[in-house]
A = this chain, B = another copy of it.
Amino acid sequence: MSPRLNLAHGVVDMSHGGGGRAMARLIETLFLKHLDNELLRQGNDQARFAVAAGRMVMSTDAHVIAPLFFPGGDIGSLAVHGTVNDVAMSGATPLYLSAAFILEEGFPLAALERIVISMAKAARDAGVAVVCGDTKVVEKGKGDGCFITTAGLGVVPEGVNISGERARRGDAILVSGSVGDHGVAILSKREHLEFDTAIESDSAALNGLVADMVRAVPDIHCLRDPTRGGLAATLNELARQSRVGMQLQESAIPVRREVAAACELLGLDPLYIANEGKLIAICAAEHADALLTAMRHHPLGRNAAVIGRVIEDDHQLVQMETAFGGQRVVDWLSGEQLPRIC
């Protein structure tokens, strides 16, 4: 084989994407070592596994977050959480992930290893395995350090039928915790802002929380994680998909004090800020208490709250009673508020 990788001081060069010895060495000493599992070790260009008859879901996310390392996570853990969560939002149990890296020539191998270790830990914690992957290298100035695209596969339990078009008039709208943490953490790091209390990303795998929720209320109508565009974009998506309106209570929406303060300082609205460890759930009003109780019993749902209800509205508007008793429309995000947030 080729010379050993210098993980302490080496950098990615074009040969690491060339399909020859250097790439094989990178795969063995870095990817296989940390992400090791039986399927990945098959060493073919595809992973093979047995499936039972039933329903599966597939999802994918490209991750281009900047900076790569941030309070509460990094692109490695994020790439696992992002796709695990998209799979879980169907009520499915996520099982397998693929991971494709696009690396920029000159990227430090030590940073890459840190990312892969973080990815491995996130996968282990979420109970999923990275079963196949790919590495490409682009010339300096044609990428930005490290991009990671993951795809995920999961199995939907029988009887569960969660989908964005199932919101009905009278349904309760719940959120699993405070909104805006991820986006504000990234922005603070990017702009070198210091706050009294450190604001950390909420990046987390939500499949454990979802499993508890589905057990308590199998007939959840909708689940979705409010990532890019925040709570506002996600609720508008769901309203449009289900052809309904929504009525929110601003005072009921959990926002951490320090996030609210940072948003005020930066002129941002926490409802439009990305989250990476929160979900929105919609269920029949009579199931709301049971669902809320199940959520609050899980560490990632401790601050869950009912934040509004589904109403009839041909215009499919998301409206909100403000803390001061007024009424405003929570519109789609226009333009890009925070680029490269995930």
Point out residues on A near B: beta carbons under 8 Å.
2, 13-15, 17-24, 42-64, 86-87, 89-90, 92, 96, 98-102, 131-139, 141-144, 147, 149, 151-154, 156, 163-165, 224-225, 227-230, 233, 237, 241, 274, 332-340
25 residue pairs from A and B, CB less than 8 Å apart: A14-B339, A17-B228, A17-B336, A19-B274, A20-B233, A20-B334, A21-B332, A21-B333, A24-B332, A45-B59, A45-B224, A47-B58, A48-B163, A49-B58, A51-B54, A51-B55, A52-B53, A58-B96, A58-B132, A62-B101, A100-B149, A137-B336, A138-B144, A141-B141, A143-B143
Q: Bound state CA distance, A269 and B144, in angstroms?
A: 32
Contacts of A227 in B (CB 8 A): 19
B48 and A56 form a contact (CB under 8 A): yes
By Cβ-Cβ distance, the 3 closest A-B pairs, closest first, are A19-B228, A19-B229, A20-B333
B332 and A20 form a contact (CB under 8 A): yes
B333 and A43 form a contact (CB under 8 A): no
User: A20-B336, A51-B54 known; A45 and B89 CB under 8 Å?
Assistant: yes
Q: Bound state CA distance, A200 and B72, in angstroms?
A: 48
A162 and chain B: residue at smallest CB distance: B44
Q: Bound state CA distance, A20 and B143, in angstroms?
A: 24
Contacts of A237 in B (CB 8 A): 24
Q: Bound state CA distance, A227 and B136, in angstroms?
A: 13
B136 and A64 form a contact (CB under 8 A): yes
Contacts of A47 in B (CB 8 A): 57-59
Q: Bound state CA distance, A231 and B214, in angstroms?
A: 50
A102 and B100 form a contact (CB under 8 A): no
Q: Bound state CA distance, A139 and B96, in angstroms?
A: 31
A331 and chain B: residue at smallest CB distance: B21
Contacts of A62 in B (CB 8 A): 100-102, 134-136, 149
Q: Bound state CA distance, A90 and B45, in angstroms?
A: 8
A18 and B337 form a contact (CB under 8 A): yes
Known: A46-B90, A62-B101. 11 other contacts (CB 8 A): A14-B339, A17-B340, A19-B229, A20-B336, A44-B163, A48-B55, A60-B100, A60-B134, A61-B134, A62-B100, A138-B340
Contacts of A2 in B (CB 8 A): 334
Contacts of A336 in B (CB 8 A): 13-15, 17-18, 20, 22, 137
Q: Bound state CA distance, A224 and B46, in angstroms?
A: 10
Q: Bound state CA distance, A58 and B46, in angstroms?
A: 5
Q: Bound state CA distance, A89 and B42, in angstroms?
A: 14
Contacts of A136 in B (CB 8 A): 62-64, 340
Contacts of A153 in B (CB 8 A): 58, 153
Residue of A43, A59, A163, A340 ringed by the most chain B CB atoms within 10 A: A59
A339 and B137 form a contact (CB under 8 A): yes
Residue of A58, A334, A340 ringed by the most chain B CB atoms within 10 A: A58
